Structure 1
């Protein structure tokens, strides 16, 4: 699942070919000092000139209208794909529906055919100071909230400062090196940075939601509420039933609809999200046409259950879209805050008990590849022996690191595919003995005289068929292992409070690393409730390598730091890696228009597809 999920599709990457000509000191952006620009990037020039008409990956003439109905394939912050009880998506409290971010504008928006470029939306331009510690944004005078009130510089400054002070930890921690945001006049925002900030931070700040300062003088920003907030984006909250569905309705008089960054976007009149507690109910709703788009994450279903009448009649079609970006880190994360999981030998042993090769054939229909890296399917993945540049970064910490870090990059053991590889289970037993555990009958007993017990936490019974064979192998080792399935709200609460032994999750990273990675692995995030540091990693070398990656002067330096970081994390055995596939498996009711070229760094279905009325009529779908 995601993130995201930190949002699993907002991935970025870029070429550094012309970066050197624009470098400025510290954490500055590679924009020539004093230049007023229509966009910003991290490592190079902008693809689109100042007066471009539309992004290349959209259809500027796409018709507007109709509806897409779906469940959320990804989500972020406090959003929950199975239920909701608040419309405040940018705080820790409550469960918000995915896609609330569609209701809010930002200073700039990303171009998904570039890895790390943003272009002006509310801000018509940006200017970076010579030292890189200030960015001045000029606000478009025509920007408006949905009630017709002016969106001005004070709203922007209020929003950024409020998010730093009261926003969801994923946001507040990511922008902690933003010192202040001020509004010297109605159309100017000056954002100050500490000088220790990453190159990505100004871009992140430029893409955060903007709130109405006047609205939040009447309402508490930090309150969980079912009153849809005043917003300014292309959609607003429409019809909804709490915990069942929400519809986002297109704003007819949206102030920015004719800007180049919005041309060809937001073509659906309604984006509807339905909420289900289990996968099978979701699939049945799709088969009946209640949902019209469905991204399938079950290999068993994809391989064996797409044989219903609407598909055989051609009204539903299966599609596969190549994933041309990092696949992310998906696995079972082991909570080292628990004493029983604090020893890396114990964690390594737990990994030996998972038989991926058997699972892939018996359960996944051979659709997946084993995940090995936190940066899987990207140039940041560590392979083979470390380079000299990597060794230089690791050398100051050599005495504190296991020898494995300096050898071949760690890969997961390959089983014999039997589902119960005795050789690997024997190796796991040896590791557990070295960690101080002894076998007492059928139980594995620790120095405290108690049997080792672990619990897998999940919010869906769909994982039972995968987890239960794994649990069987753990029990063969004498470990009392169990799966606990809880409701979505309880799951999120326990996740936020780090109240679990083992939890399955997926994180996706952008090709250009941003401040959000501090929330995954750094010491500060390990103690911040609601962070994504699920394993509780606290290592000075990790903290240092994260900062090295974020403050790299070139893409090559960033990749080197990421590879060194990957080696350290993998040698810590903080997770049991799962699997990935290099394509999106999607089924749709055949009623949509799709741009000819999907962008390389995102999968923007809701924002760039449209309803094709002829196709909809052909399959007799009302929309």
Structure 2
């Protein structure tokens, strides 16, 4: 069933190639210029169900409508930057480079699988979803006061199709057959008949508001790095920057959407500042010194042992845990399957046995984490036990065609091996040794494993010193197995370049899945983009996975989607292209006590840059106490 607002399945992740209430009369049948064809006119779209917000909503449910405007929030960034263009693989973009860019459609934190008109007032589409018309807002303006039109949007689409990354052009070319300007603020996207229906409107709605005149006057290109940000229509724009040191964004005075319901209680800070540090340790010292004011802590060691500095003791800094209802982050070490040594599943399994999560959690993580098991953890889409019913029916043909081993039908979904409380689990060591022996990697007199005269070597590519204490015990265990394992810690720019060129053995990767996954899965796991996608970092090339992605994309009900994703999750885990790491179901944050936020927070967003606010009286107290300088 469809009613206005589809999940932004491709969301602006596509851009970075490196996001219960009835429609209350907002959806209606129309015939008008389209003859007798029934046309839905709506303020939003949802392929599977109703929209939470009616067309006449006054504000979002999770914001504070009385939140004061003003002040600053500051966060940190790591490493270096030399560009503000996130739409190219050239250069390294500075923090929040799309903060000033707005899309045709938007999503809300308490209705994450729906899309709502933002730069449009309404959308129109037929039952077969063969096209969509966006009736654009006539009052959208750029910081220079000039307006935005359908011609600008058509120019932007053509620009991305000419200068965007190949994977982007291929994906959108497969969906969108034609873009037509119907009037000054009316534009039509027509879709290819064989493109998946579920993603059509959402994909058309992710294009940002760019100015054709600005591009023509500046000569800017989408495929070149630049320290001049692409002008957008958003409320924040670049104020200043100091290369590799600081980026500051300021709120516009002439923001076109200031008085719209979507803006109530949001965009509350006058400035958003990003302070850059070489690594997380230096960044933490900067936070203690008040160089920035909000920190999301991702180091369990720091969270467990280091938050005892004077500002904490004096009550100037709040340390707290905030609920997180998102999917468990599918974080792990990934193998580069393009390397011949990792194409043997037994080698990957043996290496995975040497990572001791239980010891790490107790000794290094202070019991803060749980083990990642699959790609849709913390949801009903995660594969559990053995397949039955509809999931079995999806998998059986793939077994019959020889694309999957028959064991997938009878074995329980793979979960990571459990280790003992000592760093080196001897039982897992024996299992790993047997697997490598079977794969032909035998131990020589020097204790190293060789095959055809080649030593089994594994390099861990890492840019964060904070991971040393985690990587090194893993490496020590591998050495006990006879593997020549080494840690190569490089600076962030080198890490980016080597990952982009797939020049690594093993590296950390986070595979961020969607609540309603669809064609975006092709970038994460599809064979076609394995040598150009920054998401399919491991280089997965599996015909079975490709087929399962097709089943997921073709799902027409939520139940069909759930079962299809369970089957995909089961097969992905069986591929053993990663060593799953850890997750927690809370946000661990610390901030100087000068901010407020809605309580409770929405399940799917922390929102510190979106709907938190600055409390000037508390800031004055911090400044008077010497905790902050401003």
- Cα deviation, residue 617, structure 1: 2.1
CA–CA distance in structure 1, aligned partners of residues 144 and 120 of structure 2: 20
1:459 match: 463
Residue-by-residue CA offset, 1:322-370 (whole Å, 9 max, x unaligned)? 1112012100000110001111111011100111110001100010001
C-alpha distance in 2, partners of 1:180/1:5?
A: 21
1:34 Cα offset (Å) = 0.9
Distance 1:211 1:171 in 2: 17
Kept after mapping to 1: 8 A contact 2:167/2:529: no
- CA drift of 1:513 comes to 1.1
Within the alignment, does 1:614 sit opposite 2:614 as a pair?
A: no
Q: Provide the secondary structure at the position in 1 that maps to 2:408.
A: helix
Asked whether the equivalents of residues 46 and 117 of structure 1 are also in contact (C-alpha less than 8 Å), the reply is: yes
2: CA distance between counterparts of 1:134 and 1:106?
Answer: 18
Distance 1:412 1:89, change over 3 A: same
2:516 aligned with 1:518, yes or no? no
Identify the residue that residue 546 of structure 1 maps to in structure 2.
549
Higher RCO (C-alpha 8 Å, min separation 6): 1
Residue 170 of structure 1: CA displacement?
Answer: 6.4
Q: CA deviation at 1:184?
A: 2.2
Query: Aligned equivalents of 1:559 and 1:575: distance in 2?
Result: 23
State the alpha-carbon separation in 2 of the partners of residues 197 and 559 from structure 1.
Answer: 17
Which residue is 2:187 aligned to? Answer: 189
TM-score by length of 2: 0.91
Question: Is contact 2:163-2:221 (8 Å) kept?
Answer: no
Query: Which among 158, 163, 183 is matched to residue 160 of structure 2?
Result: 163
Q: Residues 514 and 238 (structure 1 numbering): CA distance in 2 closer, same or farther, change over 3 Å?
A: farther
Greater shift, 580-589 or 216-225, is seen at 216-225
Tell whether the 8 Å contact from 1:329 to 1:371 is kept in structure 2 after alignment.
Answer: yes
Say whether residues 1:121 and 2:118 are aligned partners.
yes
What is the RMSD of the two structures over their aligned residues, measured on CA atoms?
2.2
> What is residue 360 of structure 1 aligned with on the other side?
361
Give the Cα–Cα distance (whole angstroms) in 1 for the partners of residues 512 and 65 of structure 2.
29
| Alignment match, 1:61 | 66
Unaligned runs of 5+ in 1: 25-31, 73-80
**C-alpha distance in 2, partners of 1:258/1:172?**
36
Contact 1:92 1:169 in 2 (8 A): no
1:504 maps to: 508
Aligned to 1:381: 382
Q: Unaligned stretches of 5+ in structure 2?
A: 1-9, 30-36
Question: Cα deviation per residue 1:100-139 (whole Å; 9 max; x = unaligned)?
Answer: 2110111121111012112222111111123212110011
**What is the alpha-carbon distance in structure 1 between the residues aligned to residue 414 and residue 38 of structure 2?**
43
> Are the aligned partners of 2:83 and 2:93 in contact in 1 as well (CA < 8 Å)?
yes
Task: Name the count of aligned residue pairs.
Answer: 595
Residues 558, 161 of structure 1: CA spacing in aligned structure 2 closer, same or farther, 3 A cutoff?
Answer: farther
Are the aligned partners of 1:437 and 1:444 in contact in 2 as well (CA < 8 Å)? no
Partner SS, residue 349 of structure 1: helix
CA contact (8 A) 1:16 1:555 kept: no
Q: In terms of mean alpha carbon deviation, does 62-71 or 437-446 score higher?
A: 437-446
1:398-451, CA deviations, whole angstroms, 9 ceiling, x for partnerless residues?
133234422111111111121111110100011111111111124443432111
SS at structure 2 position matched to 1:199: helix
466-475 or 601-610, which deviates more: 601-610
Q: How does 1:172-183 map to 2 (within 5 A)?
A: 172=169, 174-176=171-173, 177-183=175-181
**Aligned runs of 1:43-442 on 2, under 5 Å?**
43-72=48-77, 81-168=78-165, 171-172=168-169, 174-176=171-173, 177-195=175-193, 196-217=195-216, 218-398=219-399, 399-406=402-409, 407-442=411-446
Aligned to 2:5: none
- Higher alpha-carbon deviation: 304-313 or 181-190: 181-190
What SS does the corresponding residue of 1:181 show, helix, strand or coil?
strand
Q: Once structures 1 and 2 are overlaid, which stretch shifts more, 493-502 or 190-199?
A: 190-199
- 2:279 and 2:166 map into 1 onto residues whose CA distance is 28
> Structure 1, residues 266-289: CA drift from partner, whole Å, max 9, x if none?
101101111112111110111111
SS of the residue corresponding to residue 556 of structure 1 reads: helix
Taking structure 1 as reference, are residues 603 and 45 closer, same or farther at Cα in structure 2, changes over 3 Å only? same
